[in-house]
Amino acid sequence: MGRPATCPVLLLLLLLFLVNGELQGDAEASGRATLLSPFFGTKSRYEELHPYLLRDPLSLGPPLSGFPLPPASCTPLQLSAVVRHGTRFPTRKQIEKLARLHGLLRRGGGGERCSLAERLARWEMWYQPDLDGKLAPKGFRDMKMLAKRLASRFPSLLAPSRRLAFTSSSKPRCVDSSAAFREGLREALYGRMSEGGKNVTLTETFEINDKLMRFFDHCEKFVQDVEDNDTALYEVDAFKESPEMMKIVNKTIHNLCLPAEDLNAGNTLSLMS
């Protein structure tokens, strides 16, 4: 219940939008963030790509051509989905990096010549190491709303009479995401049926299966060729020293008015976590 690379300064930009939102209104800040949504990776809000969900989290969005299918064209039998966990907190490692960067901003000041750094320094660094990648309250809502939207989109498949099977990895954020999804589904299904006064039950199974859901941890070839291979990420390491990355680092140094020795590719990349 996945994570392509994305621009290393997105979190920095989104934090600025957050600060601006407090001053200018959430709608304007959200609109500015949405302009960047084509460049976002999976660590960004789902709503940035689907802004209609900000207005109505149960909306199914604009009509899709050819959907729903005419009843006579097919008979749906089964629905399978691979779902990533909901919005999570940064990992302990990234929280510690962000705390160090935030400390640099607070000590650096910036003044009028660095309004961006000054605003970010005023932001409260409330992430604590014990949050370590856990499912955030928003992530719980993400999963509940997703379940309810799917129940609306596939009413004949996600129904009380159907057998539902769930599989999760052992990661707490994934187990909690699965629980939130199932809760949202139960609310959607029982809510529909309760109006008729019917007593219904939901037939479901749940299992934790790391061999399936975290297959890379159990794949001998992956462990040997990637995890235990110091040269497997050569391209990634080379990118950190590339002209493109150095351009981002230098621009970040300039915008935050930080000494060059305080920022490198490693801690600049932590800004997107």
Could you list the active site residues? 85
Report CA 223 to chain centroid distance, whole Å: 26
Q: How far apart are CA 8 and CA 160, in angstroms?
A: 44
Q: How far apart are CA 125 and CA 270, in angstroms?
A: 14
Q: How far apart are CA 84 and CA 65, in angstroms?
A: 26
Strands annotated E in the chain: 163-168, 203-208
Q: How far apart are CA 32 and CA 17, in angstroms?
A: 7
Q: What are phi and psi of 7, to 5 degrees?
A: -60, 130
As given in the structure block, the two tokens for residue 214 are 């975290």
> Strand 203-208 vs strand 163-168: parallel, antiparallel, or unpaired?
parallel
Strand partners, 228: none
